[in-house]
Amino acid sequence: MNAHDERGTTMTGVDPSRLDDQQLMKELETIHRTRHDTLLYGSNDALRAHNERMAQLEGEYLRRNPRRPVAPGRTREGARERTGSDAATPTASGT
C-alpha cells in the first residue's frame, strides 16, 4: 500500500486491513477516546490526521461487519419515537 493518500499527507498507523479484529477494536476505542481533546485542542493538521485515521478504522470495521446489530433507538425513527417528534424526514428502510 502506498503510504500517502491522494493529498500527499503521510498515513499514520498500521493499515486497518492488516489489523486483526481485537487490534482494530483497540484502535477504534483509542481514537474515539481521544476525539474530544483533538477537536478542542489539536492543530488543524492533527484534526485532519485524526479525521482520516478515524475514517479508515471505522470504514474497515463496517467492511468487516456489514450486518452489525443496530439498536432501534439509534435510528431516525427510533429517535423520533423517543422525542415524540413528527418530523417529516423520510427514512430508508433499515435506517
User: The pTM is what?
Assistant: 0.69
Give the pLDDT score at 8.
Answer: 44
Taking the C-alpha atoms of residue 1 and residue 34, their distance in angstroms, rounded to an integer, is: 26
6-35 pLDDT per residue, tens: 444 455 789 999 999 999 999 999 999 999
67 is written with which cell numbers? Answer: 450486518
Confidence of residue 92 (pLDDT cuts 50, 70, 90): low
Range with the poorest average pLDDT among 31-35, 72-76, 85-89 = 85-89
Ramachandran angles phi, psi of 55, nearest 5°: -65, -40
Q: Which residue has the higher pLDDT, 90 or 46?
A: 46
Q: How far apart are the first and last CA of the chain?
A: 33
